[in-house]
Amino acid sequence: MKSKNWESLLGLAQRAGKVVSGEELVVKEIQRKSARLVLIANDASDNTRKKITDKATTYKVPVCTVTGRYELGHAIGKVQRVTIAVTDAGFAKKLFAILDQ
Give residue limits of the domains in the chain.
2-99
Work out the average pLDDT over 56-70: 96
Nearest to 20, CA basis, from 64, 88, 86, 92: 86
Instruction: Give the rounded percent of residues in the chain with a pLDDT score beyond 70.
Output: 97
CATH of domain 2-99: 3.30.1330.30
Residue 84, strand partner residues: 21, 39
pTM for the model stands at 0.94
- Rounded-to-integer distance, Cα 17 and Cα 2, Å: 23
**Is 1 a residue whose pLDDT tops 80?**
no
- 2 membership: H or E segment, kind and range: helix 2-15
CB 95 within 8 A of CB 39: yes
CB 81 within 8 A of CB 69: yes
